[in-house]
Amino acid sequence: MKSLIISAISMCLISLSASCSGPLINTTDSTKGFAVVELFTSEGCSSCPPADALLSRLEQESNGKPVYLLAFHVDYWDHQGWRDSYSQHSFSERQQQYAAWLKRPNIYTPQMVINGSSEFVGSNVAAVKYAINESLNQPASTNLLLQTKLESQQLEVSWQLLPQPKNTRLLLAFVQKNGQSQVRAGENAGRKLSHVQIVQQLTSVDPGRNVRTSLSLPAGFNMQDWELIGFVQRDTDGQIIAAAKATLK
């Protein structure tokens, strides 16, 4: 009996290892879905660097694929000795909204949310692989097209949604592709942390009232190191039903 138990445990470990070692994102020519991956993280949290590294791995694999990565740095760790320069209170509020939508009793870091409908610890490789590929296999019910035009210190954004959904918001995220920090206090004191897909500005608009808007450019914005990601989210349950990345021009 003992040998059977050991054998069963070994098989489980082999299976888990296999699920974590291969590609995280599996797409084919017939892929019709998408995945919006939101990571709630903080430089003040010692459990977050592995999740940041996992997001970086996803970033390397997601080029040209319908996978949209967003790192939201929350501010509720900022009183622990180190203020995360990327943190914003509005991102903590967004995570609180997810707690309500997903019926979670509390919020935590690192937390990853996929398409607004599932959540788990942000460093859980097997969970993120499963959730992303499940989402990619679900055909999108709505198509989002984004167009942009740079005008002085503003970005003009226009969109098309087919079919036009009800009770939704279009969220437009200015994303800084890379960043680094030398942390001097808190749980990660002495560490140099690297980040990808850092959300610096998130704007919510009514997609049905207008088909265009003007966005003020964040500090430090440039066309090479930033991108704009848009996604459509239902007001009722937080599910994300469409997403797209704009070509900046």
Report the pLDDT value the prediction gives residue 20, as an integer from 0 to 100: 53
Burial class (CB in 10 A: 0-12, 13-18, 19+), 13: exposed
User: How many CB atoms sit inside 10 A of residue 19's CB?
Assistant: 14
Neighbours of 59 (CB within 10 A): 17
Interacting residues of 139 by C-beta distance below 8 A, sequence separation 6+: 32, 33
The answer to pTM > 0.85 is yes
Residue positions counted in the chain:
249
pLDDT at 64: 86
Q: What is the pLDDT of residue 22?
A: 82
What is the CATH topology of the domain spanning 28-246? Glutaredoxin (3.40.30)
- Provide, for the chain, the percentages of residues in helix, strand and coil under a 3-state DSSP scheme, each rounded to the nearest 5: 25, 35, 40
Give the SS3 label for residue 50: helix
Order of strands, edge to edge, in the sheet holding 143-151? 143-151, 154-162, 212-216
Q: What's residue 247's pLDDT?
A: 86
The DSSP element (H or E) to which 200 belongs, if any, is: strand 192-205
Return the pLDDT at 8: 40
Residue 163 and residue 142 in contact, taking contact as beta carbons nearer than 8 Å: yes
Instruction: Give the SS3 label for residue 136.
Output: helix
245 closest CA partner among 175, 190, 180:
175
- Copy the structure tokens of residue 207: 């997609």
**Backbone dihedral region of 39: left (phi > 0), alpha (psi from -120 to 50 degrees) or beta?**
beta
pLDDT for res 2: 35
Q: Are 61 and 23 in contact (CB under 8 A)?
A: yes
* Phi-psi label, residue 167: left if phi above 0, alpha if psi -120 to 50, beta otherwise: left
Tens digit of pLDDT per residue, the chain (249 long)? 434 333 443 333 333 444 456 889 988 766 789 999 999 999 999 999 999 999 999 999 998 899 999 999 999 999 999 999 999 999 999 999 999 999 999 999 999 999 999 999 999 999 999 999 999 999 999 999 999 999 988 999 999 999 989 999 999 999 999 999 999 999 999 999 999 999 999 999 999 888 999 999 999 999 999 999 999 999 999 999 999 999 887
pLDDT of residue 30: 66
Amino acid 230 reads G
What pLDDT score does 21 carry?
62
pLDDT at 6: 38
